């Protein structure tokens, strides 16, 4: 056996086994020890075993315990055991996954994972799909395909000529658009600020009744899963109107698109399969290791036109297409292997159960906090809960107390002018007991802050 890899496995098991007993936030003393990294590159080599030991001793206590069951910050997700193990093995393979000739096995696992995900998300079976680093890159790819198509339709070849002198594209977003979408628009030369913003309703859904008539070339960006409320835009209505006017519709579904995997929550995304492109994450709700996101585009040729790369030395001679013709990267790791392992271990029923369990935990948080007389600011329709502990200052204090208490970890947000704590449940590892323990800690911290305030 290989003692170094055995040692890595032993240390990783020990790390994961210790998560339940430790605080979710990193140990402040351990964080201060990170200063030991501020040294010059050593002249002499060191043994790999010694390097691993340093990494573990210095690094492991500084992590945020997001692979445990009580991290509810951002929208994070954990790592399913099969996916973590597969990730290790695939790293040992070190395959450059986009190239079927150079990595035939890895490319085949990716194709299967993509096909399974298209099926779970209820997208048309003929869509082009590819793994990218996250939903931000997924949106970049989807919107690049959009830019290609809407300009090609008015006789402009954007890949060849760029945007100089191109007909202006109208870009519609909801007021609640995720900043990754505006960033992608900026990178593509479509402008972060020149977008037309449509107001949202009280739940954060774009108001379809405010969508203007559009003229080509135009792109409409919708959202499945508002980061604050979990709500989804009214896809069916907006997509129908946008398509009537010849616009391209892109959907940012980083986590919300996974509602499609459950018959109980699918109604939130009704009509979403009618869009032209979709971005989502695997590293959030599918619980694969970072980094892993996806893009899907209805018109394969549009994505290829935007992303293809060619050189004589790259010619594969394969009839299969190289995934590097569908995304910005030429080389990358075999992200699809982790996703394949996650899906193979869960099965269809396991994915459904994962989504439903998280939503059920979110509902329990909502009910538990409301019963303790704290104001829940959203309808808990999916896996996100917003709670206020009083005024902005009190809410900030309680969040800070909860974070340093360490039982669980939740972040802060602003929702419709209110400061709120945001609970996002998306880890396979969260159990009923984790929820009860976390709820008790939240209420204890809130009561303690209120008591201090009175005294
Ligand atoms: C997380 C998230 C993104 C960005 O995804 P990355 O994987 O971080 O690139 C985009 N949109 C929404 C709604 C998100 O929750």
The upper half-sphere exposure of residue 344, i.e. CA atoms within 13 Å in the direction of its Cβ, equals 16
How high is the pLDDT of residue 1? 86
How high is the pLDDT of residue 310? 77
Give the span between the Cα atoms of 412 and 429, in whole angstroms. 22
Using the atom order of ligand 1, give the atom closest to the CA of residue 256.
Answer: 13
How high is the pLDDT of residue 94? 96
| 185 touches 143 (CB < 8 A) | yes
How high is the pLDDT of residue 321? 78
Strand, coil or helix: what is 71? strand
Give the binding-site residues of ligand 1, using a 6 Å CB cut-off: 75, 134-136, 178, 180, 225, 227, 252, 254-255, 281, 293
How high is the pLDDT of residue 320? 62
Å from CA of 74 to ligand 1 middle: 9
How high is the pLDDT of residue 319? 53
Please state whether beta strands 248-252 and 277-281 pair in parallel, antiparallel, or not at all (unpaired).
parallel
Mutational pocket test of ligand 1: of 231, 252, 278, 281, the residue with most ligand atoms within 8 Å of the beta carbon:
281
Q: Is residue 205 part of a domain?
A: yes
User: How are strands ordered across the β-sheet holding 418-424?
Assistant: 375-376, 384-388, 418-424, 411-415
Å from CA of 297 to ligand 1 middle: 18
Q: Is residue 300 part of a domain?
A: yes
Please give the residue range of the domain that contains residue 138: 85-341
Give the closest residue (by CA) to ligand 1 atom 12: 254
Q: What angle do CA 106, 109, 114 make, to 5 degrees?
A: 125
Q: Is residue 285 part of a domain?
A: yes
How high is the pLDDT of residue 430? 98
Q: Is residue 149 part of a domain?
A: yes
Domain total in the chain: 1
Domain harbouring 183, CATH code? 3.40.640.10
How high is the pLDDT of residue 362? 98
Å from CA of 180 to ligand 1 middle: 7
Using the atom order of ligand 1, give the atom closest to the CA of residue 223.
Answer: 13
Which 8-state DSSP code applies to residue 73?
S
Give the span between the Cα atoms of 160 and 347, in whole angstroms. 44
How high is the pLDDT of residue 26? 95
Using the atom order of ligand 1, give the atom closest to the CA of residue 283.
Answer: 7
| Cβ-proximal residues to 386 (8 Å cutoff; 6+ apart), any chain | 228, 229, 376, 377, 378, 413, 415, 420, 421, 422, 423
Q: Is residue 171 part of a domain?
A: yes
How high is the pLDDT of residue 315? 60
Q: What angle do CA 115, 120, 123 make, to 5 degrees?
A: 75
237 prior amide bond cis, ω within 30: no
Q: Residue 281: which H helix or E strand, with range?
A: strand 277-281
Q: Is residue 156 part of a domain?
A: yes
105 prior amide bond cis, ω within 30: no
Residue 270, token pair as written in the block: 């009704």
Q: Is residue 420 part of a domain?
A: no
Q: Is residue 6 part of a domain?
A: no
Q: What is the pTM of this model?
A: 0.97
Q: What is the chain's pLDDT, residue by residue, as a tens digit (455 residues)? A: 899 999 999 999 999 999 999 999 999 999 999 999 999 999 999 999 999 999 999 999 999 999 999 999 999 999 999 999 999 999 999 999 998 888 999 999 999 999 999 999 999 999 999 999 999 999 999 999 999 999 999 999 999 999 999 999 999 999 999 999 999 999 999 999 999 999 999 999 999 999 999 999 999 999 999 999 999 999 999 999 999 999 999 999 999 999 999 999 999 999 999 999 999 999 999 999 999 999 999 999 999 999 998 766 766 555 567 899 999 999 999 999 999 999 999 999 999 999 999 999 999 999 999 999 999 999 999 999 999 999 999 999 999 999 999 999 999 999 999 999 999 999 999 999 999 999 999 999 999 999 999 98
Q: Residue 171: which H helix or E strand, with range?
A: strand 170-174
């Amino acid at each position: 056996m290989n003692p170094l890899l055995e040692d890595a496995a032993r240390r990783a098991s020990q790390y994961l086994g210790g998560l339940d007993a430790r605080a979710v936030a990193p140990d402040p003393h351990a964080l201060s020890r990170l200063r030991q990294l501020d040294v010059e590159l050593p002249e002499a080599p060191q043994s790999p075993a010694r390097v691993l030991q340093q990494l573990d001793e210095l690094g492991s206590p500084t992590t945020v315990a997001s692979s445990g069951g009580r991290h509810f910050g951002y929208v994070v997700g954990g790592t399913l055991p099969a996916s973590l193990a597969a990730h290790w093995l695939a790293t040992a393979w070190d395959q450059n996954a986009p190239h079927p000739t150079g990595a035939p096995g890895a490319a085949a696992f990716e194709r299967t994972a993509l096909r399974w995900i298209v099926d779970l998300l209820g997208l048309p079976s003929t869509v082009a799909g590819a793994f990218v680093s996250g939903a931000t890159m997924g949106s970049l790819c989807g919107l690049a395909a959009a830019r290609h198509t809407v300009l090609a339709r008015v006789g402009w070849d954007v890949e060849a000529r760029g945007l100089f002198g191109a007909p202006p594209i109208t870009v519609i977003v909801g007021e609640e658009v995720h900043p990754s979408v505006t960033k992608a628009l900026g990178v593509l030369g479509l402008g972060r600020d020149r977008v037309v913003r449509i107001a949202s309703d009280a739940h954060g859904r774009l108001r379809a009744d405010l969508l203007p008539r559009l003229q080509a070339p135009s792109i409409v960006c919708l959202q499945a899963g508002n980061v604050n409320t979990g709500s989804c835009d009214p896809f069916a209505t907006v997509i129908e109107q946008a398509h009537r006017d010849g616009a391209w519709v892109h959907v940012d579904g980083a986590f919300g698109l996974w509602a499609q995997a459950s018959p109980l929550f699918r109604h939130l995304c009704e009509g979403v399969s009618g869009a032209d492109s979709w971005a989502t994450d695997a590293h959030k709700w599918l619980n694969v290791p970072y980094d892993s996101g996806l893009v899907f585009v209805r018109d394969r040729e549009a994505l290829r036109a935007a992303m293809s790369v060619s050189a004589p030395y790259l010619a594969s001679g394969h009839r299969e297409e190289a995934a590097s013709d569908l995304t910005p990267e030429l080389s990358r790791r075999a992200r699809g292997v982790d996703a394949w392992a996650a899906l193979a271990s869960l099965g269809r029923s396991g994915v459904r159960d994962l989504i439903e369990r998280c939503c059920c935990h979110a509902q329990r948080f909502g009910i538990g906090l409301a019963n303790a007389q704290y104001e829940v600011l959203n309808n808990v329709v999916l896996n996100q809960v917003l709670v206020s502990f009083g005024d902005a200052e009190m809410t900030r204090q309680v969040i800070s107390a909860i974070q340093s208490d360490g039982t669980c970890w939740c972040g802060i947000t602003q929702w419709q002018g209110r400061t709120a704590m945001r609970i996002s449940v998306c880890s396979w590892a969260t159990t009923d007991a984790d929820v009860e323990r976390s709820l008790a800690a939240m209420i204890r911290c809130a009561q303690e802050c209120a008591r201090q305030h009175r005294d």
